Amino acid sequence: MACQQPGGIIHRLKRRPVFMRISVAGPRAAAIGILLLSTLTDFEPAAIAQVRRLEVAAALDAYAQGRYDEALAPVRYLSRDASRDFRQQLVLRGVQWVDAPAADRPRRVLAAAAFALEFERMRAERGEWQAGGEQDCAGRCVIEWACTLLQSRGAADDAEHVWMLASMALAHGARDWSFLQTPIAAPSDRTVQTGHVHHALARFPDDPRFRLARAIALASRNAVTDERDAPRAGDRAMPTPTGAIVIGPDFLNSMMQRNRTRLGDYVRQELESLTADESVGSEARVRLGYLHWVRGDEHDALVVEAAAADAAKEPDVRYVANFLAAQAAQALGDLSAAETRYRAALSARPYSQSATLGLAALLYLRGEAREAYEIVAAAQSNLPRDDDPWRMFLYGDFPKLPALVAELRKRVTP
Amino acid sequence: MKRHAALALACAAAIVWSAAHGQAQPPVFKTGALTVSVNAAVKRGNRVIANLTAKDFRLTDNGVEQKIEAVSIESVPVDVSLFLDTSGSTAGKLDDMKRDVQGIVKMLRPGDRFRLLTIGDSVDEPVHWVPAGTAVNLSFGAVGGISLVHDALVLALMHRPEADRRHLVVGMTDRRDCGSVVSSAQLRELAARSEAVLHLVDQSGSGGDVAYRIRTCSPRGRVDGPDIIADAAARTGGMLHDPSYFFGSSVLRAFRTIFEEFRQSYVLRYSPSGVARGGWHAIVVQVPSTSGVTIRARHGYFD
């Protein structure tokens, strides 16, 4: 499977919506299309000036030679319009740059794809993963362009694997689940499953990391639970007349609930099948417990997270598993078990704030104010410099992105 | 009689033995007189009612009238915890907030202390406790998506000031929580037991451009969360303030009003009598001698 969605990628430009279909002929066709497109699109003078200052070829040269800061520093200062125009230039001139000395093409393709990924990472952190909602595809289009480019190198290799992992991590950070997997629903005979994670799985069949990334996308917020969307009790007051077929909120809610249940069950099976895998098993267990937790299955959540915590070797995984076990135990009213699990989490990651607060609130409400005060004060004085693993847990592989980018750079300039 | 004496001796010996060998948890007894302090702000309209004495107040503890031992408008120093909601939903006011924080620090009096809490990927403390008058360096930014309002307020409330100090918590927030560990229900319960007074200044509708939108929250929210947070403030004797009252929603003006009122509030002290120790004690404060006044005081305490 190529990196485009079925039927090709649709680029939509903000000021003048123009639809362009990129055929499976590859990036050359894309470049020609965008060249035509750029002649139709009126650039803002200021944006042109900024793009000129940030020459695509010069940036790619610097990046390919390992001068990463020089290549990427100007990206930070691009305006929103300028970055959109730079994306066009990247896709247009990037292809020419890649082909300049044919002998070095595979490495230059990797450099261009890695640069595109780092560019979109920086723009995503400025809120431009999806620049203008439906009308602009921004980050996801560039990533798909780079994905196609990368595949033109030939057989899948280790460098492509790292790039795919990094692009998943970026999409997790942007929480663009539909980019990774469309539709966000359990597979059925009537739907075609597509999305970036399927491109990765086509290149690396059954890769457990990509399967887990897909499960994370499917288990995204609101996809498997309607807790936030649930109508208030009063909203359901209107009775349905006997014998009438009414397509109303109740009908739609029940249909959505059924779909969520089916999806949740499917994700559970996927995660269960990954728990035995050596590379992703421990994380899959924690995510399985989390799935139970968000679905309101506190008992199963506690059992799974407790087992995950006891088996985990990595401190961060042990922390999150114990933290979630504590939350589940608390919801079940077992405050003693909750306290034990909070303390276990803090022994894996001392002073981390989420477990500190959970434990302190529990102790305080149980009347043990003195210790609650003490542990909060100690944690505030010794707050770890790195991110709280629980806070990062909700962003899937995003916390791995810096390490993956570092790996990618090693392959660009060995 | 001899049999009873022998039994008592055996029990005593057993207690001594077990205490010596550490094999039993010693029983916990609550001893000594308990003194309860209650902040009470008494106003008619926007005007603080001054010069009240113990005789003017009526206070009940679990329905039993108590003898108020002391009433004072405290001149004791204040520990001020200021929480600025720096989540994306209030980011439009960030520059104003920073400017106003400097003004707040200048407003404090000798002996007072100040700290600042903000929201990032966790609850941050960009300014740890500093004495009044200290120049503070503010370099925090807004974080979109995540909004740890409950966690920040709990962190703020979980500070026990030294015996001769009072603790005022002021939160500038739109009360929209996203991703906190502490639930809104827990926050409300916790506030009820807190010794601090919590005031909130509503910052709803002050959203703006956020430079960093890659974050978001966990799936456990409550639609009535903002109301619960307001109720939490009321349970401490504080309240939710409408920013329009402060002519332009200035943090500085809001804080000045709250701070002055807090300093002019009465502190009622009493030793509970005629009520069973332990558990929740509901407090009701009234001023029967003066009509048309509003009184804000904590709703109770846990013994």
Cβ distance B215 to A395 less than 8 Å, yes or no, reads: yes
Task: Output phi, psi for A391, to 5 deg.
Answer: -60, -35
Stretch A220-236: mean pLDDT, rounded?
A: 45
pLDDT tens readout for residues A246-282? 556 677 778 878 888 889 999 999 999 999 999 999 9
| HSE-up (13 A, CA, CB side) for residue A75 | 28
Determine if the peptide bond prior to A183 is cis (ω within 30°).
Answer: yes
Q: Which of B123, B190, B212 sits opposite A364 (nearest CB)?
A: B190
Which residues does residue A182 pair with via DSSP β-bridges, in sequence order? A194
- Mean pLDDT across the stretch A199-228? 84
pLDDT at B49 over 50: yes
pLDDT at A334 over 90: yes
Q: What is the pLDDT of residue A75?
A: 79
β-strands B64-65, B70-73: how paired? Answer: unpaired
- R_g (Cα) of chain A, nearest Å: 24
> In this model, does residue A136 exceed pLDDT 90?
no
Residues A215, B222, B199: CA angle, nearest 5 degrees: 130
Percentage of chain B lying above the pLDDT 70 cut: 75
Lowest model confidence (mean pLDDT) among A261-275, A382-396, B93-107, B191-205:
B93-107
User: Is A124 in Cβ contact with B186 (below 8 Å)?
Assistant: no
Say which of B121, B158, B193 has its CB closest to residue A376.
B158
Whole-number pLDDT of residue B154: 95
Residue A321 to chain B, least CA–CA distance (Å): 15
On whether the CB atoms of residues A39 and A169 are closer than 8 A, the answer is: no
Contact (CB, 8 A) for B202 and B243 = yes
* β-strand partners of B39: B267
| Degrees to nearest 5, angle at CA A168 with A166 and A171 | 110
Q: Which residue of A78, A172, A394, A397 is the best one to mutate when testing the B interface, meaning the one whose CB has the most B CBs within 10 A?
A: A394
pLDDT of residue A344: 98
Chain B's closest residue to A356, CA to CA, is B181
**B277-285, long-range: CB < 8 A, 24+ apart:** B277/B30, B277/B34, B277/B303, B278/B30, B278/B303, B279/B303, B281/B36, B281/B61, B281/B62, B282/B61, B282/B62, B282/B63, B283/B36, B283/B38, B283/B59, B283/B60, B283/B61, B284/B59, B284/B60, B285/B38, B285/B40, B285/B57, B285/B58, B285/B59
CB B290 within 8 A of CB B273: no
Are B181 and A377 within 8 A, CB to CB? no
Lowest mean pLDDT across A347-361, B168-182, B214-228, B279-293:
B214-228
- Catalogue the long-range contacts made by A228-236 (C-beta closer than 8 Å, 24 or more residues apart): A228/B219, A228/B221, A229/A256, A232/B223
Q: Is the minimum CB–CB distance between B159 and chain A shorter than 8 Å?
A: yes
Q: How far is B252 from chain A (nearest CA, A)?
A: 26
CATH topology of domain B78-263: Rossmann fold (3.40.50)
Q: CB-CB: which of B158, B186, B219 is closest to A228?
A: B219
| CA nearest to A175, candidates A203, A200, A140 | A140
> B300: which strand partners?
B282
* Weakest-pLDDT range from A25-39, A54-68, B126-140, B249-263: A25-39
pLDDT band, very low/low/confident/very high, at B88 (cuts 50, 70, 90): low
B221 touches chain A (CB under 8 A): yes
pLDDT tens, position by position, A396-407: 899 899 999 999
The one-letter code for the residue type at B7 is L
What's the rounded Cα separation, in Å, for the pair B169 and A377? 16
pLDDT of residue A224: 67
CA A125 to chain B, closest CA, distance in angstroms equals: 5
With cut-offs at 50, 70 and 90, classify the pLDDT of residue A240.
very low
Check: CB of residue B91 under 8 Å from CB of residue B172.
Answer: no
Q: What is the pLDDT of residue B119?
A: 83
CA angle A284, A329, A325 (to 5 degrees): 25
Q: Which residues of A touch B221 (CB under 8 A)?
A: 227-228
N-terminal to C-terminal alpha carbon distance within chain A = 29
Listed range (A38-42, A147-151, A291-295) with the worst mean pLDDT: A38-42
Q: Measure the CA–CA gap between B6 and A93, rounded to whole angstroms.
A: 101
Q: What is the pLDDT of residues B224-248, one digit of tens each?
A: 777 888 999 999 989 888 766 544 4
Upper half-sphere CA count for residue B234 (Cβ side, 13 Å): 8
Domain limits, chain B:
36-74+267-302, 78-263
Answer yes or no: do B121 and A129 touch at CB < 8 A: no
Q: What pLDDT is recorded for position A170?
A: 94
Is residue B145 pLDDT above 60, yes or no?
Answer: no
B181 vs A221, A354, A372: nearest CB: A354
pLDDT digits (tens, 9 = 90+) for B248-292: 446 677 888 888 888 888 889 899 999 998 878 899 999 998 888
Binned at pLDDT 50, 70 and 90, residue A364 comes out as very high
- Write out chain A residues lying below 8 Å of B280, CB-based: none
Structure token pair of residue B123: 């609850």
Interface of B with A in 30-59 (CB under 8 A): none
**Mean pLDDT within A296-307:** 94
According to the model, what pLDDT value does residue A204 have? 97
Residue in chain B nearest A127 by alpha carbon: B213
Cα separation, A313 vs A235, in Å, equals 47
Q: What is the 3-state secondary structure (H, E, C) of B248-274?
A: CCCHHHHHHHHHHHHHCCEEEEECCCC
Residue contact B211–A127, C-beta within 8 A? yes
Instruction: Spell out which chain A residues touch chain B, with contact meaning CB-CB distance below 8 angstroms.
Output: 124-127, 129, 173-175, 221-222, 225, 227-228, 232, 294, 327, 353-355, 357-358, 360-361, 364-365, 367, 369, 372-373, 376-377, 380, 383, 387-388, 390-392, 394-395, 398
Residues B126, B173 contacting (CB under 8 angstroms): no
Q: Which residues contact B51 (CB under 8 A, 6 or more apart)?
A: none
Q: Which residues contact A337 (CB under 8 A, 6 or more apart)?
A: A302, A325, A326, A329
Q: Which residues of B touch A170 (CB under 8 A)?
A: none
Query: In the numeric block, which tokens belong to residue A81?
Result: 């319009």
Confidence of residue A133 (pLDDT cuts 50, 70, 90): low
Reported as a pLDDT band with limits 50, 70 and 90, residue A82 is: confident
Residue A162: count other Cβ atoms within 10 Å of its Cβ.
21
B121 interface with A at CB cutoff 8 Å: yes
- Buried b / exposed e along B127-140 (16+ C-beta atoms within 10 A): beebebeeebeeeb
Amino acid at A87: R
Q: How far is it, in rounded angstroms, from Cα B229 to Cα B219?
A: 19
Give the pLDDT band (50/70/90) at residue B302.
confident
Question: What pLDDT is stored for residue A1 in this prediction?
Answer: 57
Say whether A383 and B181 touch across the interface (CB within 8 A). no
User: What residue of A is the nearest CA neighbor of B144?
Assistant: A127
Q: pTM of the prediction? A: 0.78
pLDDT in tens, A19-44: 222 233 344 444 444 443 443 344 44
What residues have CB less than 8 Å from A203, skipping those under 6 apart?
A: A151, A156, A160, A164
Do B195 and B165 contact (CB within 8 A), yes or no?
no
Contact of A18 with A31, CB cutoff 8 Å: no
Nearest to A361 among B128, B186, B213 (CB): B186
- pLDDT band at residue A52 under the 50/70/90 scheme: low
pLDDT the model gives residue B134: 84
Q: Worst-scoring range by mean pLDDT, A159-163, A313-317, B43-47, B220-224?
A: B220-224
Contact residues, chain A, for B218 at CB < 8 Å: 221, 394
Pairing of strands B47-48, B166-173: unpaired
DSSP-derived letter for residue B145 is: S
Q: What is the mean pLDDT of chain B?
A: 77
Among B190, B212, B214, the residue to mutate for chain A (most A Cβ within 10 A):
B214
Question: Can you give the residue ranges of every domain in chain A?
Answer: 1-155, 278-393
In the DSSP assignment, the letter for residue B123 is E
Contact B179 A394 (CB under 8 A): yes
For residue B116, what pLDDT is reported? 92
pLDDT band at B28 (very low <50, low <70, confident <90, very high): very low
Q: What CATH class has A278-393?
A: mainly alpha
Question: HEC string of chain A?
Answer: CCCCCCCCCECCCCCCCCCCECCCCCHHHHHHHHHHHHHHCCCCHHHHHHHHHCCHHHHHHHHHCCCHHHHHHHHHHCCHHHHHHHHHHHHHHHHHHHHCCHHHHHHHHHHHHHHHHHHHHHHHCCCCCCCCHHHCCHHHHHHHHHHHHHHCCCCCCHHHHHHHHHHHHHHHHCCCHHHHCECCCCCCCCCCCECHHHHHHHHCCCCHHHHHHHHHHHCCCCCCCCCCCCCCHHHHCCCCCCCCCCCCHHHHHHHHHHHHHHHHHHHHHHHHHHCCCCCCHHHHHHHHHHHHHHCCCHHHHHHHHHHHHHHCCCHHHHHHHHHHHHHHHHHCCCHHHHHHHHHHHHHHCCCCHHHHHHHHHHHHHCCCHHHHHHHHHHHHHCCCCCCCHHHHHCCCCHHHHHHHHHHHHHHHCC
- Under 8 Å CB pairs connecting chains A and B tally to 91
Instruction: Tell whether the model's pLDDT for residue B113 goes beyond 60.
Output: yes
